[in-house]
């Protein structure tokens, strides 16, 4: 599949989708507290998406049942909201949301602490978020995809954590997932050249322990094999002649 570069006007539309995703995430983050179920977050997100005139991007995508992915602690990505999963103080929960507005998609994720969390887990969350910004910094005309992956990977590994390989970021536009794939690992100066108008969803998934993951029997929830926690942050970023433009903040 070809890579679709976006015009300035299309990027402006994607900025509007990105803003909706951000507003949804902010409203859901405000609800995160011990005793709240991940289905409570899901319901709030779905209402907010529709109130803002958008549609959920994930619900129905390969039969995924919800508008959010909510992944707790050792869950890496694609955790399915459930009435039975109540947040507990000390947990971290990754909240991933996608919407489509006026034909263009937005996709973003954050990892949020529930009550007071341990220093070790807080550092995992901070390093993961910072690694996303390292990747974004490298999303520049003339750089290559490997520069993004290497920037994330080097930062994560220097902090003593590991980068998940089985899931990657992606192009995004009139579809949720477009080419190219955007790995969170790589070699500088290698891979596809980045051009003005490319829009990439950069989404590092970082494990406290080993990088290995497996998918549960529900066919969606990815968890760390060693049971240690994992964090996830994601932004959509347009590559412009003036540098990276974050669409989902």
The footprint of ligand MF3 (CB under 6 A) covers 58, 61-62, 64, 69, 78, 96, 107, 109, 170, 201, 203, 234
- Output the smallest distance, CB 109 to ligand MF3, in A: 6
Residue written as token pair 């902010």: 26
Q: Which stretches of 66-158 are DSSP H helices?
A: 119-137, 145-158
Q: Which is nearer to ligand MF3, 64 or 154 (CB)?
A: 64
- Output the smallest distance, CB 147 to ligand MF3, in A: 21
Q: How far is residue 163's CA from residue 152's CA, in Å, rounded to a whole number?
A: 8
Residues forming contacts to Co ion in the complex (CB under 5 A) are: 107, 201
Number of other CB atoms surrounding residue 115 within 10 Å: 13
Look up residue 147 and give its DSSP letter: H
- Output the smallest distance, CB 173 to ligand MF3, in A: 13
Q: Which does 144 bind (CB under 5 to 8 A by kind): ligand MF3, Co ion, none?
A: none
Question: Closest by alpha carbon to 177, among 105, 71, 111?
Answer: 105
Q: Which is nearer to Co ion, 71 or 117 (CB)?
A: 71
Q: Which is nearer to ligand MF3, 87 or 205 (CB)?
A: 205
The two tokens of residue 74 are 């050792």
Q: Which is nearer to ligand MF3, 165 or 188 (CB)?
A: 165
Q: Which does 91 bind (CB under 5 to 8 A by kind): ligand MF3, Co ion, none?
A: none
- Output the smallest distance, CB 53 to ligand MF3, in A: 20
Q: Quick one: CA dihedral 17, 105, 169, 65, positive or negative? A: positive
Q: How far is residue 171's CA from residue 197's CA, in Å, rounded to a whole number?
A: 11
- Output the smallest distance, CB 40 to ligand MF3, in A: 19
- Dmax over CA atoms of the chain, in Å, equals 48
| φ, ψ at 171 (rounded to 5°) | -65, 160
Q: Which does 42 bind (CB under 5 to 8 A by kind): ligand MF3, Co ion, none?
A: none
Question: Closest by alpha carbon to 191, among 3, 11, 14?
Answer: 3
Residue nearest to ligand MF3 (CB): 64
Q: How far is residue 217's CA from residue 221's CA, in Å, rounded to a whole number?
A: 8
Q: Which is nearer to ligand MF3, 68 or 121 (CB)?
A: 68
Q: Which does 64 bind (CB under 5 to 8 A by kind): Co ion, ligand MF3, none?
A: ligand MF3
- Output the smallest distance, CB 173 to Co ion, in A: 12
Beta strands in 102-242 (DSSP E): 104-113, 162-163, 169-171, 178-182, 199-202, 205-207, 213-215, 222-224, 230-232, 235-240
Q: Which is nearer to ligand MF3, 69 or 121 (CB)?
A: 69
């Amino acid at each position: 599949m070809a890579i679709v570069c976006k015009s300035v006007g299309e990027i402006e539309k994607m900025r509007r989708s990105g803003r909706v995703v951000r507003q949804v995430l902010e409203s859901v983050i405000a609800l995160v507290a011990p005793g709240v179920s991940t289905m409570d977050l899901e319901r709030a997100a779905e209402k907010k998406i529709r109130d803002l005139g958008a549609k959920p991007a994930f619900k129905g995508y390969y039969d995924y049942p919800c508008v959010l992915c909510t992944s707790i602690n050792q869950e890496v990505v694609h955790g399915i909201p459930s009435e039975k999963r109540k947040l507990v103080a000390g947990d971290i929960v990754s909240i991933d949301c996608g919407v489509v507005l006026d034909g263009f998609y937005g996709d973003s994720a954050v990892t949020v602490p529930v009550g007071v969390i341990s220093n070790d887990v807080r550092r995992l969350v901070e390093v993961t978020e910072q690694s996303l910004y390292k990747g974004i910094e490298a999303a520049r005309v003339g750089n290559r995809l490997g520069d993004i992956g290497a920037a994330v990977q080097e930062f994560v590994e220097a902090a003593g954590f590991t980068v998940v390989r089985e899931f990657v970021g992606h192009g995004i536009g009139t579809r949720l997932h477009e080419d190219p794939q955007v790995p969170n690992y790589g070699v500088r100066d290698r891979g596809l050249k980045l051009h003005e108008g490319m829009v990439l969803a950069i989404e590092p998934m970082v494990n406290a322990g080993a990088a290995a993951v497996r998918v549960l029997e529900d066919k969606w929830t990815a968890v760390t094999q060693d049971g240690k926690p994992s964090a996830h942050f994601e932004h959509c970023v347009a590559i412009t002649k003036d540098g990276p433009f974050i669409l989902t903040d």
